[in-house]
Structure 1
Amino acid sequence: MRHDDIYDAVVSDKLILQFGKVLINQLGPRRTHNISQRMRQLARLKIQLNQNEGNTSKELENYISPQSFDLIVDAVKQLAGFDRNEQQISIFNIPSLAITIGHNLVKAAEILRGVALRTNDELVKKGADDFLQLHSGEWTTSISSIALASLRTNKFNKPSVLPITSDLVKLKLHLDTEIEKMIKEVEMSPDMTAWRTLAEVTLVRVILFNKRRGSEVSKLLKVTYESRPNWKQSINEEVYGVLKPVEKELLKRLQLVETQGKRNNKSPILLTEKMVQALDILSGEKFREACGVLKSNPYIFASQNSLENINSWQAMNKQAKLAGCQQPELISSSRLRKYIATISQLLHMEDHELEWLSRHLAHDINTHKSHYRQHDAAIEIAKVGSLVLAADEGQLSRFAGKKLSEIDVSEFLLPDLGKYKAVDDRDILDIELNAGVTAEETVSGPDECQEDYVQCRSNSKEKKRKQSTDETVSSSSNKKQKLATDNQQKVLERLRKLEGRRQKEKSGLNKASETSDPFDFTDDDQDYVYSNNEEDPSEDEEVEKVEEQKPKKRWSVEENSLFKRIFFQFLEKKTMPPGSTLIAAQKHLTSRSVAQIRTRVHNVINGKQKLS
């Protein structure tokens, strides 16, 4: 506590000291700063009361009586700046101070009554009881209602400015780079400067990813992190079974640690693999001792030569400026929480999904209680993990109007998942030979590519057949249409078998002889009946053979040069670009399809192709 006149008023008053002792026992040393501020508020009230009384030197307990209640109301109005606005409505210039002093007075009166009961002082006990009764009946109309109204009106015509998405993405890239760099530096030559930098960038990265209160993350205890359970072993099988593949992958990649939050609530923190690697170093005794961190400091993000933790706001502001953000002053933990709460409104979230997000942010939600569901580690990591990962990539707006269960973040994980296999450009070209493939279908995920292939080849065949059909249909066409539908089903079945054989040949599971023909459908064609408006498919098979023999179109020097300029950043970091980037690139590489461009990026990243 700062040494001044208010400090002297605190240490000279028994009731204020007892007030601080009770709060320390209740809230613990973690809230020391908040407790000292509340003690100073009571001291300021005592000083104001003594000035109004003619510079007396009474202690606070002398004013805890019904006779002094009106004096206290007047003193609080003076401290909080009571006034009337242009509409002659009562307001407070500092409404939060008036509200807080009201809570502190109730606590102080209860402490005084407890002291009187212990000392059997009936006079003091009666005075405290009568004061509390007056406070309960009149404080709301005299102080609280005016202060709360002032808080609301102060927010009028003051828009809540949120951080810029591009700034958050820029900060994220900066932090990821710094974390990798500082991990290597601390491991090679540990010192306090490198350790402190690693602690700051990791602290900011965890806050940025989770959108948590800065104090909750910065006060993460070393023992709490080290004793975190392996949530994967305790996940309910039924919950795990209904998760999507990408959500199951998130369960493997993300870890969860729970720490103490506001009002002693559980505060879950999600950690990526890189965060865990950095936190392992920050919590390791070998590195902490080599870097000069005090052994008695319980925090992972320990401050230098003290028992305190690193200030989260100062660290975040510093890193935002180093990252070159346009408006670093807008990046704070409280604004990040408003950001995720505001941006998530773009999604079509169910009530229980809002409950999941609210719990992750440690917010209270008092509506739709009937939709409460068990919020275990699997939901925290898989469901909320998808949301925060999309927001972390600055891509949450792409999922506007979707439910939380419809958010697919697989493209952000694909570089490591290895879901893409080496695909021939000619195979991808075959997918888009028909004109019915849209851009959205082309950018579909890897699991959908094979289904698109079968459907597109089916569409292509049917278009060729339709070109050779008669324009006129007889009145007895119902029977022919039924026959055509049956034939279409058989065509699709043949194409599925074709796709299965091709996949087996690529994976080496089916080692057919060189003379075998993968397009041989002799067995399947035996029971196929051709309608009057269909031609024999032998011509189509000849067309397919011509397509199979068609040589691949090589990438020209100009195309390679343009390809490098567009995807330089992604190739350097070996990450797959999002679908929007691929679609934009296709507008420049007009002779290539989106699927071809995506395949080439993947193969170059994995070293299966080289840029000439």
Structure 2
Amino acid sequence: MPDESTVDGGKRKVDYVTVNAENMQKESTVVMSSKIQAPSENEKGMDSPDAYSSDDKEMREVDSVRDGYEDDFEEEEKAEAETKEDSDSSQDDNETDGREDSDYDPEQASEVESDESNPAFLTETQPIQENQWVSDSEGSENSEEFPLRRVACLDNLNSIDEGISDHHEDISDSEPDEDEIIRDKDNPALFVKKVTTSLTTKNGKKKKSPRVYNSKHCCPFCTKLFSNFSQHILGRQHELEPEVLQITNIKVQKDDTLQLKAVKEKERKKYLTILRNRGDSEHNNNIIKKKKGEIILGRRLTGKESFSIDEYGPCPGCMEWLKLTVIHRHQSTCVAHAKDGTHMTKGNLLLQSAVISGRVKCEAGGTLLKEVFSIMRDDPIGKVAKEDALIIGLGNQWMTRNLNNKLMRKHYASAAMRLSSRLLLQLRLLETPATGVSMNDYIEPKYFHTVAQAALKVARQDERDESTLGAPSNALKLSFDVKRLASIKLAKAIQDGDRAEREKAKDFLELMAISWSTKLERIVLEERKQARKQPLPLPKDIIKLSAYLKSESNSCDLLDNSYNNFRKVAILSLAGLISYNRRRPGEVQAMKMTAYFSRKSGTDDFSRAVLGELTKLEDRLLKDQDVIEIRGKCGKIVPVLVPSYTRPLLEHVTDKQVRKNAGISSSNGYVFANNRSGVIRGGYAMKVYTDAAGLERPQLVRATNMRRYMATMSQGLNVTPQQQQWITDHLGHTLDVHRIYYRATSDVIERVDVAKLLLMMDAGDISKYKGKKLDDIQFEGKRLTNFCLSNVVSFVI
């Protein structure tokens, strides 16, 4: 029978179970509100070992094992001290109804109602050992969660917890304090908690540490939020989970050396961190799907920083949410990263992070269906590309990479998907795995050699001469795309928790890093070195083309608003800008109306202060030419100079009324628009006018070749390094690319200046002319042949 001191009329709600009275006074600890029976006389001796039941003995064994985990709770101990101060100070304001503050909490009591239909609930209780701390946040929406000194105390209350519904604070749905959060720039419903400090408690009492420990982490098993994650995860609720057993099986023995103890504690902390990050990552993915709630980051922000969810993602190894710009550097400290010296590339890490966070999916989204599938050729290659999950994921990744390049991204994605589809078709001809014939079945270590062999087939390797490739660029592109496919598989395996597939993908990527270059890329590079060099355009052809474009612009009828005339004027102005600027056709053809209307013309006071006194030519150039800034390669902003003869042409094609009369859609925001949703291609515009200008070798006058021509001709000028940097900035590439790929050494320079230096070295007189320029050194003799034979020559400066 229940004790009358605790039960009124057979039924009464008991608010708290206190532990030992002396310990309660020392530590001011409260116990979870619940309905229990007061201990009877037979239960008062439960402190003795013989008084425990078999279940209690198992509980004590678990408790003794978990005593070694106190080092894992250092951060929680800090939170305990702070929240304890807040609890002690806040209890003064509670209405006690005649009871002591430490014994009664009206909010706790109101949540637990008496249950007449369940009398067993009042009698079937378990004893609580003394000197243990218990959380009071189970069932309370307003209280903080107090860290436990021992986990076994929760085990004692396990049966009680089952009878009470959990009331955890849902930070994704509750209204947060605006002073403690930073909202997303694009979606204000998403937010993160920022680092907050306070020198006093809520009631004004002084604190030992200014840091406010109010962070919560999500349990990956029950998906609830806890301020003391390690206490919850090592409790009895999840003790049979394989990941928890992996932690509890690491036992610190008394006779262990200090070094061994440190190793065990580090290993235990590693698994606990990975488990916590996994729960936070799953929570973040759910919040992103709901588009509302708190995002849990690995490192919280300060009040001075802004927050955008697009800038963050999970580490593929430990699942901690970090800023995408630091994920590559994070590998050196990642707890889940293998310490064998292997590192993934930044691109592969970002791709895996995008798949885990759901930004890149292995299923065709609306954008991929609308833009890519609609233009892809419906042949066997296209059908395979549209059906294979990994290839679709690759297409999504290419669309994401070129998010701002709406005009060309569909073509990039389609080309990459079709090339991977060709690889898959070749793989099916070479070998058929037992698991299936999808790309996922071939991204395994045992099929690595088969994948390399199939890539050579796609590159059209000559059967008689293996070092000859008909399409070496295909092999080079596949070397990157195969890595992306393996990274997508790895990220998908991490997301699904498939360890077997995860290991296969990781091993395949390691083989790629070790063996692919020796098998394939070396052949590609050798083939490219032996490629025939294309001659530069003839100078007289360039002069003739420029004169022809100017004459055509003067004869244009700008009063005709028909589509045919609009197209003619657009092609002429497009060819003029490409040839004058030596700009890539794809960059100029994608010029937007907003960029044109934001063009810069004339000078201001600041520009004149920088330039100083201008010559007549410089002043005329500033007045006659505008500058339009457009998107270049890899998102770089590059300038386009507008010569005077193209100004009226551009004004015509950008006029709203002209575009409307010509049938150009108002939604088409490109300057060189066609009557559909696209643009007129720059390469086509160059071909039209080079063919019509009557050039001697029109096939050489193309945009890329004219860029090489400009880079090569600049060698004949005495340009300073700063001026050379201006040239490369205008062309939209780096100095290394300028020297290696664009600038061709002129045979005249080779035979004059370089030969002059060689002859001086043969004569043994080069030391006499130290510090002199080659152009300033002249040599003369009766005959050059005599000089070459006898090395007798007089040098004149």
Alignment of 1:393-408 (within 5 A): none
Question: Secondary structure of the residue that 1:117 maps to in structure 2?
Answer: helix
Aligned amino acid, residue 272 of structure 1:
P
Counterpart selection for 2:395 from 15, 20, 24 = 20
Match of 1:222 in 2: 593
1:205-244: CA deviations, max 9, x gaps?
A: 1111101111111111111111234562374444220543
**How far apart are residue 45 of structure 1 and its match?**
0.6
Q: Are positions 1:33 and 2:400 aligned together?
A: no
Match of 1:94 in 2: 471
Alignment of 1:186-225 (within 5 A): 186-187=558-559, 189-225=560-596
2:541·2:695 contact (CA, 8 Å) conserved in 1?
A: yes
Return the alpha-carbon distance in structure 2 between the equivalents of residues 316 and 122 of structure 1.
54
1:447-500: CA deviations, max 9, x gaps?
A: xxxxxxxxxxxxxxxxxxxxxxxxxxxxxxxxxxxxxxxxxxxxxxxxxxxxxx
Match of 1:161 in 2: 535
Return the alpha-carbon distance in structure 1 between the equivalents of residues 663 and 734 of structure 2.
41
Counterpart selection for 2:604 from 221, 227, 233 = 233
1:583-609: CA deviations, max 9, x gaps?
A: xxxxxxxxxxxxxxxxxxxxxxxxxxx
Question: Secondary structure of the residue that 1:186 maps to in structure 2?
Answer: coil
Point out the more displaced range, 196-205 or 111-120: 111-120
Residue ranges of structure 2 left out of the alignment (5+ in a row): 1-375, 740-748, 754-797
Question: Secondary structure of the residue that 1:3 maps to in structure 2?
Answer: coil
Aligned amino acid, residue 148 of structure 1:
L
Aligned amino acid, residue 13 of structure 1:
D
1:61-90: CA deviations, max 9, x gaps?
A: 1111211111101111222233588xx883
Larger Rg: 2
1:80·1:92 contact (CA, 8 Å) conserved in 2?
A: yes
**How far apart are residue 54 of structure 1 and its match?**
5.0
Return the alpha-carbon distance in structure 2 between the equivalents of residues 136 and 180 of structure 1.
58
2:707·2:731 contact (CA, 8 Å) conserved in 1?
A: yes
Match of 2:555 in 1: 181
**How far apart are residue 277 of structure 1 and its match?**
2.1
2:628·2:641 contact (CA, 8 Å) conserved in 1?
A: yes
Counterpart selection for 1:127 from 494, 504, 521 = 504
The answer to which structure, 1 or 2, has the higher relative contact order (CA under 8 A, 6+ apart) is: 1
Match of 2:264 in 1: none
Return the alpha-carbon distance in structure 1 between the equivalents of residues 695 and 387 of structure 2.
48
Q: Are positions 1:299 and 2:299 aligned together?
A: no
Structure with greater helix share of residues: 1
Question: Secondary structure of the residue that 2:603 maps to in structure 1?
Answer: helix
1:240·1:248 contact (CA, 8 Å) conserved in 2?
A: no
Match of 2:381 in 1: 6
234 and 287 in structure 1: CA distance in 2 versus 1, 3 angstrom threshold:
farther
Q: Are positions 1:363 and 2:733 aligned together?
A: yes
Q: What is the RMSD computed on CA atoms of the aligned residues?
A: 2.5
Question: Secondary structure of the residue that 2:628 maps to in structure 1?
Answer: strand
Q: Are positions 1:334 and 2:704 aligned together?
A: yes
167 and 64 in structure 1: CA distance in 2 versus 1, 3 angstrom threshold:
same
Match of 1:82 in 2: 461
How many aligned residue pairs are there?
363
Counterpart selection for 2:695 from 325, 338, 352 = 325
Counterpart selection for 1:282 from 630, 639, 653 = 653
Return the alpha-carbon distance in structure 1 between the equivalents of residues 377 and 421 of structure 2.
13
**How far apart are residue 358 of structure 1 and its match?**
0.9
229 and 254 in structure 1: CA distance in 2 versus 1, 3 angstrom threshold:
closer
2:599·2:626 contact (CA, 8 Å) conserved in 1?
A: no
Alignment of 1:363-442 (within 5 A): 363-366=733-736
Return the alpha-carbon distance in structure 2 between the equivalents of residues 367 and 124 of structure 1.
40
Aligned amino acid, residue 427 of structure 2:
L
**How far apart are residue 196 of structure 1 and its match?**
0.7
245 and 186 in structure 1: CA distance in 2 versus 1, 3 angstrom threshold:
closer
Aligned amino acid, residue 11 of structure 1:
K
Return the alpha-carbon distance in structure 2 between the equivalents of residues 59 and 163 of structure 1.
48
2:601·2:625 contact (CA, 8 Å) conserved in 1?
A: no
1:256·1:269 contact (CA, 8 Å) conserved in 2?
A: yes
Query: What is the TM-score normalised by the length of structure 1?
Result: 0.56
231 and 137 in structure 1: CA distance in 2 versus 1, 3 angstrom threshold:
farther
2:601·2:623 contact (CA, 8 Å) conserved in 1?
A: no
Identity among equivalent pairs (%): 28
Residue ranges of structure 1 left out of the alignment (5+ in a row): 370-396, 402-612
Return the alpha-carbon distance in structure 1 between the equivalents of residues 695 and 737 of structure 2.
38
1:133-166: CA deviations, max 9, x gaps?
A: 11011111111111111111123xx4x2222222
Return the alpha-carbon distance in structure 2 between the equivalents of residues 368 and 11 of structure 1.
39
